[in-house]
Structures are given as structure tokens and as C-alpha cells.
């Protein structure tokens, strides 16, 4: 009897990988170019199952760089080899890889019409956490499924406890410069389920909160501008920030641009004086940041995207939860990688130590958090 081997793919496997793909899928096929990419080292694992040097199946796992999240992109077994336990062997090997990378979750998408696959994943601990309309090329919907891979903790912050099959609101920014409005809309939607998240509101908030200029391209949203936008929509706002000067000045060239940013910032401050927005200035340490997150109110955090995509850009994210070991973010930036999906940007686990390092921007290490809560009627 020939020995079954599960190993990492090599370039010599390419023709057989393409054959498996062709015979297993009618649509949404991986291209030769994609297979070549995944054979090379990177934020992925491509595993193959062979018998007597014949490639019978493969599994592809993708990792969101800078996070503790994995996604099972695909398991494919030649039709005549199905029912022999090969999919389970690949799943076991994939989960071992994921645990070795200290990922908290393994996620996947599966067609709602593929009941065999759904039952297979359910049997091995994967839970249905959502539905994605028209996910596949043929227009079929997909279920989003998830399995927790690390048992470091099961206790989430009480007020942000994630109910089974229910995730925090998610909105993907529709422009390169509206991460702040998208994050704020997610926070508001958490507090007010009737709130409508749409592009009109996204751009309206950007118009209210933009600093006009950024390091390049359209202006991004300042913490003070976003605070005013949240306040004007009827919410209590506390801004934690470690600097008193106008944010982002050190990243902009040209005195004229800097003077415009300063002018806008001064106007924001003048408007804030007419509100009950709280501004707490100080050098937030990791333990203080942890205390804020643990209270459970929706929080927007400004991060540097360096650990996510090697691009030193300011970026707003929405904290959808936290526990003893991880911070979970909803990242409004869907990214440019065609193989990553919305599944890779929702409730993304990041080790706390790493997140606290990410939550600083620029040479002056700007740190700011925007805490949104329901308005205090007594106030």
C-alpha cells in the first residue's frame, strides 16, 4: 500500500495542482500565476497530499499579515479520490500550521449549496458566523465559518461579548481616504442599530472631519474632527490623545499645507469648546489603553499600517472587542489583494503587545483613541 504524504507544495507540483483545480471547480479557479505565488514563501501555506508521487489534493491557507488570523482559502480533492479521508488529513495539517503561527481563528467561506462541505466543517468544529451575498462568480451566496484555534482565553470583555453567529457592524470604506468615517459609522451602528451606514454618510463625515491635507492625496480625518462628527450625531465623546499640537503636521511638506492644517485644527478646537466633548491629554501607556478597551464602549484607534502592509500611513480602525490576550479590530480598508476577502478584515485578532505598538503614528508617535458612548441625559 502506497504511503499518503502531506507536504508543502513545490514548483514541480504546478501541473498537477492545475489539474486538480480544473477538475474540482467550474468557476472561481486559481490561476497558474496564483499557484506560483503561493508556492513561494509568504503569508500563506500551500499543502499537497500525494500518494506514490501522484498529487491527489491540496489545501491553501492565507494569513492576514500583522494579525493572528488565518483563512482556509480552499481544500480540493480529485473527484475519484473523495470519501477516503483525504480532506480531513489536509484539514488537520492546515490547522497544525495555523496553530504554529499562533493564529486565534481559522475562517473560511463555503457555498450555501454545498451541504457536504458544510457538514464536513461543522463536524470538525467550524461555526456559521455569517452569510455573504453573491460571493461566487456564478452568483451563489456563501456562508462564513470560523473555528477558534487557540484556547488562551474564551472570555471577551463583557460589554463587547460576541454573541454566537453575530458580529459587530462592518462597513468597508469606499475611498482611500475615508477610514475614519467608516470606523465611526461602525461605532455608531453598534450603539444605534437603526443607524444607516452608507456612502452618503461616509462622505458627509469626511467633509466634516477632514484636515484637508495629508502626507499624500486627499486629506484624512483628524481625531478632533471625528469627535465633532460623533457629537453632532448625539453621542458622548472622549478623546484620549498624547499631543496638543495639530495632528499630522510632521508628515506634510510645505509651509502652506501646514498652515491650512493648523487653521482647520484651530477651528475644530473652537467648535469643541462649545460642546461637552472631553479631551484627555497625556502619554497613554499600554496598561491605560488596556483599561479603556476593557470598559466596552466603541473605540476608534489611529494606527500605523506598517505591520499590516509595510506602508507607514495613518489609518483609523474600529475596535470590535478585546480579551486578556488580543484586541479585535474591524478594519474598514478592504485592501488590494484579490485573494483576501471581507472575512479577513472583520473582528481581526491582533496580539495586544503588537496592537499597542501599532497604535502610534509618525515620528512623534501620535497616539489617539476616540471613545463613543450613548449621550448622558443628565449631562
> Do residues 236 and 359 share a domain?
yes
Question: Which stretches does DSSP call E strand in the chain?
Answer: 4-8, 44-51, 54-63, 69-77, 105-111, 127-132, 142-148, 235-241, 278-281, 299-304, 314-322, 326-330, 348-351, 368-374
Inside any domain, residue 379? no
CA distance 14 to 32: 7
CATH code, domain carrying 351: 3.90.70.10
* Nearest-10 Cα torsion for 114, 116, 121, 122: 100
Question: Would you say residue 160 lies in a domain?
Answer: no
Identify the pLDDT of residue 54: 95
Q: Determine which of 4-8, 99-103, 171-175, 334-338 has the lowest per-residue pLDDT on average.
A: 334-338
Structural domain count of the chain: 2
Q: pLDDT value at position 163?
A: 39
| 223 and 349 fall within a common domain | yes
Lowest mean pLDDT among 39-43, 57-61, 161-165, 333-337: 161-165
161 within a domain of the structure (yes/no): no
Contact between residue 107 and residue 94 where contact means Cβ atoms under 8 Å apart: no
If one compares 293 and 267, the residue with the highest pLDDT of the two is 267
Residues 62 and 185 in one domain: no
Mark whether 84 and 214 lie in a shared domain: no
Flag whether pLDDT at 332 surpasses 50.
yes
Among 173, 186, 127, which residue's Cα sits nearest to residue 329?
Answer: 186
Q: What average pLDDT does the segment 247-274 reach? A: 89
Residues 130 and 8 in one domain: yes
28-32, 161-165, 290-294 — which is least confidently predicted? 161-165
In terms of domains, do 126 and 241 share one? no
Contacts of 76 (CB under 8 A, 6+ apart): 20, 21, 24, 25, 57, 58, 59
State the cell numbers at 376: 448622558
Question: Average pLDDT in the 182-197 region?
Answer: 97
Among residues 38, 29, 1, which one has the least CA distance to residue 13?
38
Picking from 148, 183, 211, the residue at the C-terminal end of a domain is 148
Q: Find the domain containing 205 and state its range.
A: 166-374
Q: Give the residue from 368, 374, 338, 359 showing the smallest Cα distance to 137.
A: 338
The predicted model gives 324-348 an average pLDDT of: 88
Band of the pLDDT at 215, cuts 50, 70, 90? low
- Mean per-residue pLDDT of the chain: 89
What's the length of the chain? 379
C-alpha of 31 from chain center: 25
- Residue 241 in any domain: the answer is yes
Shared-domain flag, residues 140 and 174: no
Whether residue 16 is contained in a domain is answered as: yes
Cα separation, 376 vs 158, in Å, equals: 21
Q: Residue 201 belongs to what H/E stretch?
A: helix 199-209
Among 117, 148, 179, the domain-final residue is 148
Residue 190 in any domain: the answer is: yes
Residue 378 has pLDDT above 60, yes or no: no
Asked if residue 9 belongs to a domain, the reply is yes
Residues 230 and 280 in one domain: yes
58 phi and psi, to 5 degrees?
A: -145, 160
Of the candidate ranges 96-100, 148-152, 171-175, the one whose mean pLDDT is the lowest: 148-152
Give the whole-angstrom CA distance, residue 372 versus residue 190.
10
Q: Could you give the 3-state DSSP secondary structure of residue 213?
A: strand
Q: Are residues 358 and 272 in the same domain?
A: yes
How far apart are the C-alpha atoms of 312 and 339, rounded to whole Å? Answer: 23
Same domain membership, residue 236 and residue 272: yes
CATH label of the domain that carries residue 73: 3.40.630.30
Q: Is residue 158 one of the residues assigned to a domain?
A: no
Nearest to 140, CA basis, from 228, 222, 28 = 28
Looking at 118, 148, 178, the residue that finishes a domain is 148
CA angle 17, 69, 13 (to 5 degrees): 15
Region 266-278 average pLDDT: 96
212 and 345 both lie in a single domain: yes
Grid cell, residue 83, equals 470519501
How far apart are alpha carbons 42 and 50 in whole angstroms?
23
pLDDT digits (tens, 9 = 90+) for 287-330: 888 888 888 899 999 998 887 876 778 899 999 888 888 999 99
- Residues 185 and 237 occupy one common structural domain: yes
Amino acid at each position: 500500500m502506497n504511503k499518503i504524504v502531506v507536504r508543502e507544495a513545490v514548483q514541480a507540483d504546478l501541473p498537477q495542482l492545475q489539474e486538480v483545480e480544473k477538475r474540482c471547480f467550474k468557476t472561481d479557479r486559481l490561476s497558474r500565476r496564483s499557484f506560483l505565488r503561493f508556492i513561494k514563501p509568504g503569508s500563506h501555506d500551500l499543502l499537497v497530499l500525494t500518494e506514490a508521487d501522484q498529487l491527489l489534493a491540496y489545501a491553501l491557507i492565507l494569513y492576514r499579515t500583522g494579525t493572528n488570523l488565518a483563512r482556509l482559502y480552499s481544500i480540493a480533492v480529485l473527484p475519484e479520490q473523495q470519501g477516503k479521508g483525504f480532506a480531513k488529513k489536509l484539514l488537520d495539517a492546515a490547522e497544525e500550521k495555523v496553530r504554529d503561527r499562533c493564529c486565534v481563528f481559522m475562517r473560511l467561506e463555503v457555498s450555501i449549496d454545498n451541504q457536504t462541505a458544510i457538514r464536513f466543517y461543522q463536524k470538525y468544529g467550524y461555526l456559521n458566523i455569517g452569510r455573504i451575498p453573491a460571493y461566487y462568480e456564478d452568483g451563489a451566496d456563501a456562508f462564513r465559518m470560523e473555528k477558534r484555534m487557540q484556547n488562551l482565553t474564551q472570555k471577551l470583555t463583557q460589554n463587547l461579548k460576541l454573541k454566537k453567529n453575530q458580529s459587530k457592524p462592518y462597513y468597508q470604506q469606499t475611498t482611500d481616504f475615508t477610514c475614519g468615517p467608516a470606523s465611526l459609522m461602525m461605532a455608531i451602528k453598534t450603539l444605534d442599530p437603526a443607524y444607516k451606514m452608507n456612502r452618503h454618510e461616509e462622505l458627509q463625515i469626511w467633509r466634516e472631519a477632514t484636515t484637508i491635507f495629508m502626507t499624500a492625496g486627499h486629506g484624512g480625518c483628524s481625531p478632533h474632527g471625528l469627535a465633532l462628527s460623533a457629537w453632532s450625531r448625539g453621542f458622548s465623546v472622549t478623546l484620549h490623545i498624547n499631543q496638543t499640537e495639530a495632528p499630522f503636521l510632521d508628515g506634510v511638506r510645505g509651509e502652506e499645507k501646514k498652515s491650512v492644517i493648523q487653521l482647520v485644527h484651530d477651528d475644530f478646537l473652537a467648535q469643541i469648546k462649545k460642546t461637552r466633548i472631553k479631551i484627555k491629554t497625556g502619554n497613554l501607556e499600554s496598561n491605560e489603553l488596556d483599561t479603556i478597551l476593557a470598559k466596552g464602549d466603541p473605540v476608534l484607534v489611529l494606527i500605523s499600517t506598517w505591520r499590516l502592509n509595510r506602508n507607514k500611513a495613518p489609518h483609523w480602525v474600529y475596535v470590535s472587542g478585546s480579551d486578556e490576550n488580543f484586541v479585535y479590530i474591524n478594519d474598514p480598508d478592504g485592501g488590494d489583494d484579490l485573494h483576501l476577502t471581507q472575512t479577513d478584515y472583520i473582528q481581526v485578532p491582533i496580539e495586544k503587545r503588537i496592537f499597542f505598538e501599532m497604535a502610534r503614528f509618525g515620528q512623534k508617535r501620535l497616539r489617539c483613541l476616540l471613545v463613543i458612548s450613548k449621550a448622558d441625559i443628565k449631562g
